[in-house]
Each structure stands twice: as C-alpha cells, then as structure tokens.
Structure 1
Amino acid sequence: MYLRKVAVGLTALVLLSSGAEARSLLDFIKPTTPHQENASHSGSISQTAALDLYSNQQKQASFDGCADLFPGAKPINMATVPVSMKPLALCSDNFAVLYSQTSKTPLVVVERLNAAQLQDAKGEERTNQFYPDPRVPKSGRAELSDYRGQSPAVDRGHQSPAADAPTPNAMAQSFSLSNMVPQDPTNNRKIWSKVESDVRKFAKRADGNVFVFTGPLFDSGYTTIGDNKVWVPTRLFKLVYDASSKRAWAYVLPNAETRIEKPMDYDAFVKSTGLNLLGNLPVTGSVGRI
C-alpha cells in the first residue's frame, strides 16, 4: 500500500482510501460566495427542520451515499483516521464532509463541480439560515453561539460555497455549521470569495467533472472560539483536480487579510501542507488558464 507521511508540527493525521489506493494524508499541528455575512440578514432554523433537509441515507455516518463526489468514486476510508480526531463522514446533496468532533470543524470538504451543475446554481437564492448539524452529537459540534461576540470578529466561512449549490435543498444544506470554519471576515468576503469564483469559472469551461477539496490547516499557535472551543484555522486550502485533463493545483492562504498568490502545483501543495489528498490518482500537470 502506498503511504507517505509528512510530519508538520507535533502530530500527523493520515487518511487512506479504501482498498490499496491512498486517498489522503493530512498533517495537523495538534490533536494539535459572495460572502456578505451580515448578522441582520442571517437567521437559523430549528433542529427538526434541519434534520428534514437530509435523506435517510445522509443521516448515516458514512460516505456510502456520496462516493460519486470523490475522484474515482473512492471516498476517504474513515477507519484510517485517528480516533483522537473523533471523525465523522457526512454526506450532503452536493458535498461530502470529513468532520472532526475534536476541532468542531470539517477537516476536508469535497465537491464535484461541472458546467451543468453550476448553471443550475446560477441565481439560486442564498438563504443565510445557519444551523448546527443535527447529525453531529452535541458534544462534538459547533453551535451558533460559538461564533457570536468574538473579538476579533469571525465569519462562519463556507468550505463548500453556497454559490455552488444547484438546488434549494443543497443551498440550505450548505449553511450547516459542519460546513463552516471560523474565518477572518476580510479573507472570507473578499480574498476567499475570489478564489471560489475563479474555481467556478474554470469548472464551467472544463470538459467534465472537476473535484475540489477545501479545508482548514491548524498550525502552531492556532486559537479557539466559543464555549465549545471551535478551532480557528491558521490557513485555508483549496485543491482543484480536473478529472479530464488530470491537472491539479491548489491555493493555500493564511486565514487573514492577505492577497491571492499564484496557484501552486500539486507537489508544492503536498510539500507546503502535508496533505496528499489525491493519493495515487494521476496528475499530469498544473493550472493553465483560470
């Protein structure tokens, strides 16, 4: 079995695919949209209403119901994730979440984008109805109160963007806190929003499916917010894999007001972050024209 372990900081979280092919390798420091998030325009829904957004299969802690959202239909093998991270596999209509009940955030969110889906998503009304994920035990999840009254302020930063949602139900699901990380407001609403927009532009022109991996990185000195101690990322990543051309590239940005750097190739991404998310999938090049 292919296995590469890159130590970054104090500990490493290794994710492998089912079977003989490695899917991912995540290293964490410790067990270590437009994003106009205006509180006056945001709301919440009840846990009963939130649970109704999910099918019976999506209520199960398994990637079985959304394997097609992963490249090669090979989901992350949850049995390989360290127990210390208290992982959960969560399926939604349009994205899959590897969730940690330790960090109270997603570790990786995976989407499959294509031109037809994004055409359907165009014009879909943004709901701004945030809610804690009812599928996650209360002891392992973020609550709306964790994000309120923080100094400095933080946004509830989508990992699967609301603007990627092609249906009303998918839009509603995107506002689950299991799809959120605490994000610097300027980063969320300007810099990261531009990254998301660039990825959508590419996916609309691509010949087929484009798979997108998004998530947080927790480097030494990361902080927490709220009574539930939700981990605040020091950096954020977005890895893009074009299944047709076999090209891959990534953005890795600090969770702060910053500027967008030129996307890095896949080898540089693995070296910079310790994440080998594509495992043995073929990668023949990097980004061309965004």
Structure 2
Amino acid sequence: MHLRKIAVGLSALVLLSTGAQARGLLDLINVPGPHASHAGSASASSALQLYSSQQQQPSFDSCAQLFPGAKPINTATVPATMKPLALCSDNFAVLYSQTSKTPLVVVERLNAAQLKDAKGEERTNQFYPDPRIPKGGRAELSDYRGQHPAVDRGHQSPAADAPNPNAMAQTFALSNMVPQDPTNNRKIWSKVESDVRKFAKRADGNVFVFTGPIFDSGHSTIGDNKVWVPTRLFKLVYDAASKRAWAYVLPNAETAIQRPMDYQTFVKTTGLNLLGNLPVSGSVGRT
C-alpha cells in the first residue's frame, strides 16, 4: 500500500479523535492479559510494558492484519523529512511522524465481535508519551497544557473501539493523538466515530478505518516540541465485504457534520491513495 508522495511547501498539503477519574497507569500495566508485567514508576518507560516485544519494534510486521489485504502502508513512500515511524498496538497501527510529533495515519480493523467486547470497557483517561519514540521525536504531556486557545488530545483510534484494558490503555498514547479543537473533538468528531461503529456492527465482516490529520499551509504548532496542529481531519472507511469506501474530511474547528464523500473524491481532496489497488465498488450516502 503506497501513499502519494507528499510535498511540503507554502501551498502544499502535508499528509498527514473527558471523563471521570480513572485507574492509574500502573493499574493498567498490571491488568490480566498478554502484556501484563510487574509494576514500576508511572513513566514513559513503565508504559513500555503495555507493548509486546514485537510491538516495541519500529515495524508493521506484527500488525499487518490490521490493514486491508494485510498490506501495510509502505513508510518509504513518506518523505524522509517527515521522519516516519511504523508503530503497532493491539488493535490499531500508527504511521507516525517524528517531525510533526503526531500520527499521519492510524489504521483500525473493526468488526461486530470486537465492538461487542469494547462496549462498556472502562475509559482510563491516562495519557502518556509513547516510550517507543525517541524523546526528540515525540509529543510530551506538557505540550498540550496551558494552550490558548485550548486544544484536546484528540484520539485517532477512539478509546471506545478498545475491546480490553490493555488495548484501552494503548489508545491513550500521545502517538495516537493530534491537537484537536475541543468542540470538534467532543461533538462533531465523536458523532463521526459513533456512526462508523454503528456501521461496523452491522457489516458482514471486517471494516477498515483510516484516520489522520491534514496540515494545510499556515498550520500552527503547540508546546516546546512544536507539535503540529492539523487544519483538517479525515476518516476513511473501507468495508472489505462490499468493497464500498467513503470518507469524512472536516475542518479542525467548531463545524457541522457533513455527508461523507466517495473514495475518488477523497483522493482528489487529500492526495491520499490509502487503498492503493484494492477494489472499490461504491460508496454510501450516510453511515
């Protein structure tokens, strides 16, 4: 799977989702499951215990199944200036940029069984810097604090998609976040995420979802680490059974939800041919 080459320039598009107090990170590290480990200090190094040894490697090898056709995005198609990094988690994969300090694309495989398991899973709200990313190439918690105007840490793979405690904890890594307008994140984008889940619960098999930021010319940054703030966000849905695909592309601002666009329009709008040569036989008017 290839991405169209990205130009970084004045007029170019660059490629590029609050609740109650929850359990601490140490509690999450010690949850029963394949990655459970001994307690340590609640730091980025402790958070490393949330990931298997394979997931600690900068490769999509351990999560190829999360991509349609089991064909991961080729990081070599991303400009070297973006310093791309491949990151696997239990239920999502991240094409990350050490330049923007954000994900460029986050990929999920959803289906009815997974979302049934995810329903009622306790949201943790324990955000942490991703320990798999070199310190100079990652966002820190401090980057999101005290911003004017305020920004949310916007999940790209939603916490509500996580089917178990370890997967839930992984969604709160800053490698799964972009600086997002609070109203957009909590209302408009939340509705988009909910609509996608509703479709995936009805679908006949796996539904693949690509989510990410778009950085138009003039985008801003936050924090000492200069985390890029997207001007728009996208969510592309591909139903593997019906071969239908559609996408939302919305401003990172207080806005109204819009009807999804077909895949061809998405590619023309963003320059992102995320499905490569996979067959696309139609779209939907609404999810």
Q: Same fold (TM over 0.5)?
A: yes
The alignment status of 1:58 with 2:58, answered yes or no, reads no
Conservation of the 8 A alpha-carbon contact between 2:22 and 2:123: no
Conservation of the 8 A alpha-carbon contact between 1:62 and 1:90: yes
Query: What is the deviation of 1:11?
Result: 7.6
Q: Describe the shift of the 1:11–1:277 C-alpha distance in structure 2 as closer, same or farther (beyond 3 A).
A: farther
Q: Describe the shift of the 1:105–1:8 C-alpha distance in structure 2 as closer, same or farther (beyond 3 A).
A: closer
Query: What is the deviation of 1:80?
Result: 2.5
2:270 equivalent among 263, 273, 283: 273
Give runs of ≥4 in structure 1 deviating > 2 Å: 1-12, 40-45
Alignment match, 1:219: 216
Q: Describe the shift of the 1:84–1:289 C-alpha distance in structure 2 as closer, same or farther (beyond 3 A).
A: closer
What CA distance in whole angstroms lies between the structure 1 residues aligned with 2:242 and 2:6? 27
The alignment status of 1:137 with 2:134, answered yes or no, reads yes
What CA distance in whole angstroms lies between the structure 2 residues aligned with 1:74 and 1:55? 21
Conservation of the 8 A alpha-carbon contact between 1:153 and 1:185: yes
Alignment match, 2:115: 118
1:71 equivalent among 68, 82, 86: 68
Query: Counterpart of 1:140 in structure 2: which amino acid?
Result: G
What CA distance in whole angstroms lies between the structure 1 residues aligned with 2:270 and 2:114? 30
Query: What is the deviation of 1:247?
Result: 0.3
Provide Cα deviations, 1:3-59, integer angstroms capped at 9, x if missing partner.
9668796487xxxxxxxxxxxxxx518xx98xx368x77976422321000000000
Structure 2: runs of 5 or more not aligned: 26-41
What CA distance in whole angstroms lies between the structure 2 residues aligned with 1:166 and 1:2? 29
> Aligned runs of 1:112-261 on 2, under 5 Å?
112-261=109-258
Query: Counterpart of 1:103 in structure 2: which amino acid?
Result: S
What CA distance in whole angstroms lies between the structure 1 residues aligned with 2:7 and 2:92? 28
Alignment match, 2:14: 28
Query: What is the deviation of 1:77?
Result: 1.4
What CA distance in whole angstroms lies between the structure 2 residues aligned with 1:100 and 1:155? 19
Alignment match, 1:20: none
**Range with bigger deviation, 73-82 or 226-235:** 73-82
Conservation of the 8 A alpha-carbon contact between 1:112 and 1:212: yes
Query: What is the deviation of 1:171?
Result: 0.1
Query: Counterpart of 1:265 in structure 2: which amino acid?
Result: D
**Range with bigger deviation, 120-129 or 42-51:** 42-51
Structure 1: runs of 5 or more not aligned: 13-26
What CA distance in whole angstroms lies between the structure 2 residues aligned with 1:11 and 1:89? 27
Q: Describe the shift of the 1:8–1:264 C-alpha distance in structure 2 as closer, same or farther (beyond 3 A).
A: farther
What CA distance in whole angstroms lies between the structure 1 residues aligned with 2:101 and 2:24? 20
SS in 1 for 2:246: strand
Query: Counterpart of 1:83 in structure 2: which amino acid?
Result: A
SS in 2 for 1:111: strand
Query: Counterpart of 2:158 in structure 1: which amino acid?
Result: P
The alignment status of 1:95 with 2:92, answered yes or no, reads yes
What CA distance in whole angstroms lies between the structure 1 residues aligned with 2:175 and 2:158? 13
Taking every aligned residue pair, what percent have the same amino acid on both sides? 83
Number of aligned pairs? Answer: 271
SS in 1 for 2:96: strand
What CA distance in whole angstroms lies between the structure 2 residues aligned with 1:185 and 1:43? 24
What CA distance in whole angstroms lies between the structure 2 residues aligned with 1:132 and 1:162? 16
What CA distance in whole angstroms lies between the structure 1 residues aligned with 2:3 and 2:154? 31
SS in 2 for 1:130: coil
Conservation of the 8 A alpha-carbon contact between 1:210 and 1:240: yes
Q: Describe the shift of the 1:2–1:91 C-alpha distance in structure 2 as closer, same or farther (beyond 3 A).
A: closer
Q: Describe the shift of the 1:233–1:6 C-alpha distance in structure 2 as closer, same or farther (beyond 3 A).
A: closer
Q: CA RMSD in A?
A: 2.3
Query: Counterpart of 1:80 in structure 2: which amino acid?
Result: T
Conservation of the 8 A alpha-carbon contact between 2:3 and 2:77: no
Alignment match, 2:29: none
Query: What is the deviation of 1:79?
Result: 2.2
